[in-house]
Amino acid sequence: MKLMRKSRRLVSIKQGKKHLVQQSREESKQSNGRQLSIHDFDFLSTLGTGTFGRVRLVRFKHDSKCDPMALKMLKKTEIIRLKQVDHVRSEKKILETIRHPFIVQLQDTFQTESHVFMLLDYACGGELFSLLRREGRFSNDVGLFFATEIVLAFEYLHSKEIAYRDLKPENLLVDKDGHVRITDFGFAKVVKDKTYTLCGTPEYLAPEIIQSKGHSKYVDWWALGVLIFEMLAGYPPFYDDNPLGIYQKILDGYYEFPPYVEPKAINLIKSFLTADKSIRLGCNRGSEEVKEHKWFKGVDWNVVYSREIPSPWVPKIMDNADTQYFEKYPDSVETPSVPTKA
């Protein structure tokens, strides 16, 4: 679970400095009314590191039956320095309002003088990015399996006017049953009309984001086209040694398919990777026209939603705290301060 993968991350250039400590008493308490604290957890291994902090696997000290969880630990000094206050607050607010089988669930939040904490479900299969790199590329059926779950997640988010804006394999986790869980909502935003923030990952940016013409939730369908291409080809459609080169290729619409990608998948990807939003797949009737595409023919979407379709890849874990599918990181010597009182 990455907080930031520097090679594929473009941080928003928007945002002013705001007070980060403002938080109601209720937001820092457990359901029993007691304030949640870092002292409630046994800290296990590190799952990921980034500019703002790290993600640790944790377990409640006094509840051995509780599954381990992922604790996202964000340094306030770095959040403020990089002008990411709005994104952190937005991520928290959005995660508190959504619940979907293919989205990582936020369980609780609290803060200390030095850190903001988000307690999340733990997906033991690691990043889809890692699985894709191990496999090289996915077969048509495997790519289809993961794509269907993402379509339903986007359908749900878009019904709430939420633009996700950061789709990529690094932000897709695989749970113990082999199903996708979208994570990292730092760039997600409620967008009822247009927004102009330049944010996302270079290879996955839609043309309207690059051109600062204003964009909406429909940039997610463009990004899904990029993801499906990367899953089936083994590499992204738009690539260059520097972001400016990537942007130019996106604006030029220049990409080529390898010979092993099936025609129906090619047609779908081309329908997503259309700069003209009036004809881009998903921009007129939303997820319904996406689900009607011939690549998805025969898919029972109700069965997909209920997670009844067996995953083509299920992590082989020793126990529910197994971290073998995550990269190894040295544990931090830093000890966050005690929680603040509201």
Q: Binding site for ATP, residues?
A: 72
30 vs 32: CA distance, rounded Å: 5
Annotated binding site: 72
- Cβ within 8 Å of residue 27, ≥6 positions away: 109, 110, 342
Tell me which residue of 29, 332, 294 sits closest to 140, measured CA to CA. Answer: 294
Is residue 21 within 8 Å of 322, Cβ to Cβ? Answer: no
User: Which amino acid is it at 322?
Assistant: D
Listed in sequence order, the DSSP H helices in 26-167 are 76-81, 85-95, 128-135, 140-159
Which residue has 């320095």 as its token pair? 81
Which residue has 């760039």 as its token pair? 187
Pairing of strands 106-111, 115-121: antiparallel
Residue numbers annotated as active site: 166
53 vs 187: CA distance, rounded Å: 17
User: Which amino acid is it at 212?
Assistant: S
Pairing of strands 106-111, 69-75: unpaired
Tell me which residue of 69, 74, 169 sits closest to 123, measured CA to CA. Answer: 69
Name the DSSP letter for residue 215: B
Strand ranges (DSSP E) for the chain?
41-49, 53-60, 69-75, 106-111, 115-121, 162-163, 172-174, 180-182, 189-190
Is residue 171 within 8 Å of 182, Cβ to Cβ? Answer: yes
